C-alpha cells in the first residue's frame, strides 16, 4: 500500500486504529488524525503519559495487543516496532483491513501543507528542527511540528498548528523518511550509521539521494556544502538545490563568528547579501552550522529575517542536547544524546572549548551492532575526554549475538573505566566531582538517569541527614 493510497483513507468519519499509539511520533499522529475528523482508537503494551493524554482527548486506548482491538477499523497504522506476528496486524490482514506504516501516515499528512520542511542527516536533526520551530513560531505562522526530542518551547516534542507549514525531523533508519513528501528536504550530513539495516556508506548515500528526489520541481533541496559525503551524494541531482556552509562558497553562509563565554555571534548572508545578525544561546561551531541550515529553510519559506534572528536567539536547546542538569560537589553536569562517534567528537571538542579544568565523560554505547561496527572510532573519539567512564551497552532493539561489551572499549581507551551498573558509575562520578569539572552523561539509552541522580536534591538531603 502506498502513501497516495493512504491519503484516500484520511477523511472525516473514517475509523483509524494505531498500534503502538503511545510512541513518541505515534501519539501526535493520533491527535492530527482526530483533528481532521477521523475516529481514532489505538493500543499499546503499557500505560504512559502519552496514553493518558490521548485518553483525555477522547481517544480510546487499549492496553495490550488483541485481535478484537481492530474490530470496525477502516485502516490500521503501526509503529516500526510492530511486526506481522502482532495479533492485531494478523487480525487486520484476515479481515482485509489495509495496514500502513507510521512514516506513510506522516507522508500522507504532508501532502496537505504548502511547506513540508524535513530535516535529515546523521547528526543534528533534533537541534536543527528545533531551531526552525523557534523561527516559525517567532514568525507566527502557526506551524505543525514533529521533533524526535522534547523542546521546552513546546513543552513536548510536537505541536499541532493550523497554518500551511509542517516541520519534521526525518530519520533515515529503515528508510522511514522515504515515505515522506517534503517540499523542502534539508540534508545536514551523511556518515556510516544504522549498519544493522544499511549495508555500507554507499547504501546510506543511495537512501539520502532517493529522499532528495522526493522533492517536487517547485521545492528545494538544502545541503551542507561542508560535508563531502552529502555533496557527493547529491552530485548531478535534478532538483532545485541550494547549499549552506561556513564560507562564501555556499549560497547561505556566515561571517567568522565572534565568541563570548563560548557563545557565537555572526552575520548571515545569502549570496553576498547581508540578511541579519545572529546571536546563539548555545555553544559550538556545529550549532552555527545548524543555525545556517535552519535559516536557509526559513528563507526559502519566505520568513522575514528579523524572525530568524529572534527565533534563533530564543533557542536554548532541546532536552538531552547539551542539557544543563545542575551541579554535584561544585562540578557542572550536562546530559547529551550523542551516540555516534561523529557526534561524540563534536560534543567533546565543544566541551573542551568552554574552559573547564577537566572533562569527565560517562558514556553508554547504543546497540551492539553500532558499537561493533564503529568500535575503533569510539576508541578514538572518547580519548578526547580527560576521563571516560563506560556503562554497559544499551541494547535497544537488539540481542547481544556479537559478544561485545563496553568493557572491551575500556581496555582500549586510556584513562577509561568500566562500571557494570548505574549505581556504581554514579558513585564514582560523585567521588570524582569537584569545582572546575564538567561532567557529561552521554548516549541515547538511559544514562540520563545518572545525571538526574547526581544533581538530585533528594540525594543531597539524604547525605546530610546521614552525617
Out of 79, 122, 126, 230, pick the active-site residue.
Answer: 126
By the 8 A CB rule, do 450 and 441 touch? yes
- The closest of 119, 125, 122, 147 to 341, measured between CA atoms, is 122
Cell 506551524 found at? 143
By the 8 A CB rule, do 360 and 327 touch? no
| Angle subtended by helix axes 27-35 and 49-56, to nearest 10 | 10
Cell 499522529 found at? 29
Using the CB atoms, write b or e for 249-281: b if 16+ within 10 Å. Answer: ebbbbbbebeeeeebbbbebbbeeeebbebebe
Strands of 193-309, DSSP E: 220-224, 241-245, 252-254, 258-260, 263-270, 273-279
Out of 7, 125, 325, 372, pick the active-site residue.
Answer: 125
Residue 162: exposed, middle, or buried by beta-carbon count in 10 A (0-12, 13-18, 19+)? Answer: exposed
The C-alpha atoms of residue 453 and residue 337 are separated, in whole angstroms, by 17
- Is 279 in a helix, a strand, or coil? strand
The C-alpha atoms of residue 390 and residue 388 are separated, in whole angstroms, by 6
Catalytic site includes residue 126: yes
Cell 569510539 found at? 378
Which residues, in sequence order, are bridge partners of residue 46? none
Catalytic site includes residue 125: yes
Q: List Cβ neighbours of 423 (8 Å cut-off, separation of 6 or more).
A: none
Out of 101, 169, 323, 392, pick the active-site residue.
Answer: 169
Q: List Cβ neighbours of 192 (8 Å cut-off, separation of 6 or more).
A: 198, 200, 201, 204, 373, 374
Catalytic site includes residue 243: no
Q: Compute, in degrees rounded to 10, the torsion defined by CA atoms 299, 305, 309, 315.
A: -40
* Residue 116 grid coordinates: 513540508
Which residues, in sequence order, are bridge partners of residue 350? none
User: In sequence order, which ranges of 273-402 are alpha helices (DSSP H)?
Assistant: 285-300, 305-313, 341-352, 368-373, 375-382
Q: Which residues are catalytic?
A: 125-126, 169
Amino acid at each position: 500500500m502506498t502513501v497516495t493510497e493512504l491519503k484516500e483513507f484520511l477523511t472525516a468519519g473514517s475509523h483509524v486504529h494505531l498500534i503502538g499509539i503511545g510512541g513518541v511520533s505515534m501519539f501526535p499522529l493520533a491527535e492530527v488524525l482526530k483533528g481532521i475528523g477521523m475516529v481514532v482508537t489505538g493500543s499499546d503494551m503499557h500505560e504512559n503519559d502519552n496514553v493518558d493524554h490521548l485518553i483525555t482527548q477522547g481517544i480510546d486506548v487499549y492496553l495490550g495487543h488483541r485481535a478484537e482491538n481492530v474490530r470496525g477499523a477502516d485502516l490500521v497504522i503501526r509503529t516500526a516496532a510492530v511486526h506481522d506476528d502482532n495479533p492485531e496486524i494478523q487480525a487486520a490482514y484476515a479481515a482485509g483491513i489495509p495496514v500502513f506504516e507510521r512514516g506513510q501516515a506522516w507522508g500522507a499528512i504532508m501532502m496537505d501543507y504548502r511547506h513540508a520542511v524535513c530535516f535529515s542527516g546523521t547528526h543534528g536533526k533534533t537541534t536543527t528542527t528545533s531551531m526552525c520551530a523557534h523561527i516559525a513560531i517567532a514568525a507566527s505562522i502557526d506551524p505543525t511540528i514533529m521533533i524526535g526530542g522534547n523542546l521546552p518551547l513546546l513543552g513536548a516534542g510536537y505541536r499541532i498548528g493550523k497554518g500551511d507549514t509542517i516541520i519534521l525531523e526525518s530519520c533515515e533508519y529503515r528508510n522511514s523518511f522515504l515515505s515522506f513528501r517534503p517540499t523542502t528536504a534539508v540534508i545536514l550530513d551523511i556518515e556510516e550509521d544504522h549498519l544493522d539495516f544499511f549495508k555500507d556508506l554507499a547504501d546510506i548515500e543511495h537512501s539520502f539521494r532517493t529522499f532528495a528526489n522526493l522533492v517536487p520541481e517547485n521545492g528545494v533541496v538544502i545541503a551542507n556544502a561542508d560535508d563531502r559525503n552529502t555533496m557527493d551524494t547529491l552530485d548531478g541531482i535534478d532538483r532545485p538545490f541550494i547549499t549552506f556552509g561556513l564560507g562564501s562558497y555556499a549560497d547561505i553562509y556566515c561571517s567568522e563568528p565572534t565568541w563570548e563565554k563560548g557563545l557565537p555571534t555572526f552575520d548571515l548572508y545569502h549570496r553576498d547579501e547581508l540578511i541579519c545578525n545572529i546571536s546563539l544561546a548555545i555553544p559550538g561551531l556545529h550549532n552555527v552550522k545548524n543555525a545556517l541550515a535552519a535559516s536557509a529553510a526559513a528563507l526559502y519559506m519566505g520568513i522575514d529575517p528579523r524572525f530568524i534572528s529572534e527565533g534563533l536567539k530564543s533557542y536554548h536547546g532541546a532536552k538531552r542536547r547539551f542539557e544543563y542538569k545542575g551541579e554535584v560537589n561544585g562540578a557542572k553536569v550536562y546530559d547529551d544524546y550523542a551516540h555516534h562517534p561523529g557526534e561524540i567528537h563534536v560534543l567533546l571538542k565543544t566541551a573542551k572549548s568552554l574552559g573547564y579544568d577537566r572533562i569527565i565523560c560517562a558514556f553508554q554505547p547504543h546497540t551492539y551492532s553500532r558499537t561493533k561496527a564503529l568500535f575503533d572510532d569510539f576508541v578514538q573519539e572518547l580519548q578526547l575526554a580527560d576521563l571516560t567512564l563506560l556503562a554497559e551497552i544499551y541494547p535497544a532493539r537488539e540481542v547481544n549475538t556479537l559478544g561485545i561489551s563496553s568493557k572491551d572499549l575500556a581496555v582500549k581507551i586510556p584513562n577509561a573505566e568500566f562500571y557494570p551498573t548505574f549505581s556504581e558509575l554514579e558513585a564514582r562520578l560523585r567521588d570524582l566531582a569537584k569545582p572546575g569539572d564538567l561532567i557529561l552523561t552521554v548516549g541515547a539509552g538511559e544514562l540520563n538517569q545518572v545525571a538526574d541522580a547526581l544533581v538530585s536534591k533528594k540525594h543531597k538531603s539524604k547525605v546530610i541527614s546521614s552525617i
